[in-house]
């Protein structure tokens, strides 16, 4: 499949690109900074450079895709301002509509509930902390995911709490709060592998599974 990845040069995004390539997919990577594009990609990845405010560049990146992966996540820098990823996600969704792309996989935290999930102590805590101490980041992740969940796209939102730079190999738990046993920490490599797997797996269609080790 042809897969366009946003946030492709980030910690999880770059691992996701590698996972997609290993699975035989063709990848287009959207990056803001050309200097951050890994040299190891070589000519295996088509790269589109642009800001999240650049609707035309985003449209170019989505053209010809069978699926879109958004590994975008809010900046935790307290000096950050505005909600650039909310605007960017709106451009992504518009480009998907324009080109008839229906499969979308994104990332979020348990502050965003699955449609069939009721709030639990964990989801309330994960929502309370950013609302209180990182309000801009919280508003951004809500603003990114709300229009996706409200759309008619074939979406999957992969949720996680505490990503770590640890190797794969530990047990991976996938499920929903209130019904499944889930932990807090999860390796970025496992997030990337699970995200890449969702491109052609409909198990979690229009669901927001949580993942942990």
Domain boundaries, the chain: 2-212
The proportion of the chain whose per-residue pLDDT surpasses 90, expressed as a percent, equals 86
Tell whether pTM > 0.85: yes
What is the three-class DSSP state of 72?
coil
pLDDT-derived band at 32, boundaries 50, 70, 90: very high
Per-residue pLDDT at 169: 63
| pLDDT at position 166 | 86
In the predicted structure, residue 22 carries a pLDDT above the cut 70: yes
- CATH of 2-212, picked from 3.40.190.10, 3.40.50.720, 3.30.70.20, 3.30.300.30, is 3.40.50.720
Number of residues written out for the chain: 213
Render pLDDT for 68-106 as a digit per residue (tens, 0 to 9).
Answer: 999 999 877 777 888 999 999 999 999 999 999 999 999
Spatial CB neighbours of 169, under 8 Å, sequence gap ≥ 6: none
Here the tokens at position 103 are 């499969």
DSSP one-letter string for 130-190: HHHH-HHHHHHHHHHHHHHHHSSSEEEEEE-SEEE---S-S--EEE-TTTS---SEEEHHH
Tell me the pLDDT band of 26, cut-offs 50, 70 and 90.
Answer: very high
**What's the whole-number average pLDDT of the chain?**
94
């Amino acid at each position: 499949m042809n897969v366009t990845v946003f946030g492709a040069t980030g910690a999880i995004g770059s691992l996701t690109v590698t996972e997609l390539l290993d699975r035989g997919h063709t990848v287009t990577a959207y990056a803001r900074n050309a200097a951050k594009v890994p040299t190891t990609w070589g000519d295996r990845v088509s790269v589109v450079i642009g800001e999240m405010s650049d609707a035309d560049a985003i449209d170019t990146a989505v053209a010809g895709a069978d699926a879109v992966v958004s590994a975008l996540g809010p900046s935790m820098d307290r000096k950050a301002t505005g909600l650039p990823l909310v605007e960017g996600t709106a451009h992504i969704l518009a480009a998907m509509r324009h080109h008839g792309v229906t499969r979308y996989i994104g990332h979020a935290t348990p502050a965003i509930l699955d449609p069939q999930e009721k709030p639990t102590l964990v989801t309330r805590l994960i929502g309370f902390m950013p609302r209180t101490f990182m309000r801009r980041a919280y508003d951004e992740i809500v603003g990114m995911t709300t229009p996706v969940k409200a759309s008619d796209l074939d979406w999957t939102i992969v949720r996680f709490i505490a990503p770590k730079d640890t190797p794969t190999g530990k047990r991976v738990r996938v499920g929903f709060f209130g019904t499944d046993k889930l932990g807090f920490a999860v390796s970025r490599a496992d997030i990337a592998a699970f995200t890449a797997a969702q491109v052609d797996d409909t198990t979690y269609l229009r669901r927001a599974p949580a993942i942990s080790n």
